[in-house]
Amino acid sequence: MSTTPVSGPNTIAAPPRPARGNDPDGPDLPGRRGGRDRVRRGPREGHRINWWLTALLIVLSLTIFVPLYFTVVTALKTQDQLGGTGFAFPTEFAWGNFAEAWRLTNFPRTALNSAFITVGAVVLTLLTNSMVAYAIARNMHRRLFKGLFFYFISALFVPFPILMLPVAKQTALLGLDNQVGLILLYVVYGLSFNIFIFTAYINSIPRELEEAAIVDGASTWTVFWKVIFPLLTPMNATVGILTCLWAWNDFLLPLVIVSDPRGATLPLVQYVFQSQFTTNYTIAFASYLMAMAPLLIVYVIAQRWVISGVTRGAIK
């Protein structure tokens, strides 16, 4: 029996269907332009400004901007212009303060010493601390490794001044009262905090990635260097920045460890501007700005890699 509709004088024609997307009464479905119930929202509708948070950010920004402004204007003043509150803009720029600070601190040599110690501490910290954290994180079910984890964490609560004199004597006896010994101490003293944050991040990495590599014949070393270490980019960026700032700006550890004046770092030689009775503030602040410049250059160059690593860690 044929099911083909037959047209005739008694046939009722169906009303024409409206074009797709032009139905004025149709629902607001994805891919359709029409719909009387569709509500158009402006780009800023639903977004309110949190004025309390904005005010807090402004206040916190001032805590950085005000000391930085004070440092810059003081470095550009002469000794005669230091009167008053100190925030007044210099009437005459004393660019010679930077030249004098360069000479008194022997800036090229001391900056090279600080750079050598900082780079060595950062590289060794990233290589060694991440491996220790990986071994602990993947064996936390064992008592030995769990005990080691809490042992390292407990070291966070031991103040350095308690260990300062014994460490200074031991490094002198071992012949490590130099830049190499200073690098090793930075790696060791940063181990507790670095293990804490590395372990937490490694635990968030799926074990299936390692199991797939092991099935393909990868050893433990290959799994770490080819699978785990690249995924640690966000934490490596964090640990690297913190270690860099600590090693570059540290004063106490080089003071008690380094015995050779030729191996002095920038914070140590900047102490020359302070005497028992007076302090040469203008040249000292010029020296502080000069010591700050290398870190700013490093940040400008590396910020894209740091932000990229943090972003990849957020969407992992």
For residue range 15-56, list pLDDT tens digits in order. Answer: 555 555 455 454 544 445 444 444 555 445 557 888 899 999
The burial class, CB within 10 Å (0-12 / 13-18 / 19+), for 50 is: exposed
Check residue 304 and give its pLDDT: 67
The predicted structure's pLDDT at residue 4: 47
Give the pLDDT confidence score for residue 299 in this predicted structure: 76
Tokens of 159: 């103040």
pLDDT at 17: 55
* DSSP assignment string, 144-200: HHHHHHHHHHHGGGS-HHHHHHHHHHHHHHTT--SHHHHHHHHHHHTHHHHHHHHHH
Tokens for 160, please give them.
């350095």
Of how many residues is the chain composed? 316
pTM value is: 0.76
Query: For 3-17, 56-70, 80-94, which range has the lowest pLDDT when averaged over its residues?
Result: 3-17
Residues 6+ apart with CB under 8 A from 34: 21, 22, 23, 24, 26, 28
Quick: pLDDT tens for 179-214: 999 999 999 999 999 999 999 889 989 999 999 999
Alpha-carbon span 208 to 238, nearest angstrom:
25
Single-letter code of the amino acid located at 233: T
Q: What is the pLDDT of residues 266-314, one digit of tens each?
A: 998 888 777 645 677 888 899 989 998 888 887 777 666 666 555 554 4
pLDDT at 49: 85
pLDDT of amino acid 185: 94
pLDDT exceeds cutoff 90 at 228: yes
Q: Average of pLDDT values for 245-273?
A: 88
Hey, where are the domains in the chain? 109-276+292-314
Q: Which residue has the higher pLDDT, 120 or 297?
A: 120
Q: Sorting pLDDT into bands at 50, 70 and 90, what band is 82?
A: confident
Angle in degrees, 0-180, between the axes of helices 281-314 and 107-137, rounded to the nearest 10: 30
Report the pLDDT averaged over residues 233-246. Answer: 88
Alpha carbons 198 and 127: distance in angstroms, whole number? 12
Question: Does 119 score more than 50 pLDDT?
Answer: yes
CATH class for the domain made up of 109-276+292-314: mainly alpha
Burial class (CB in 10 A: 0-12, 13-18, 19+), 97: buried
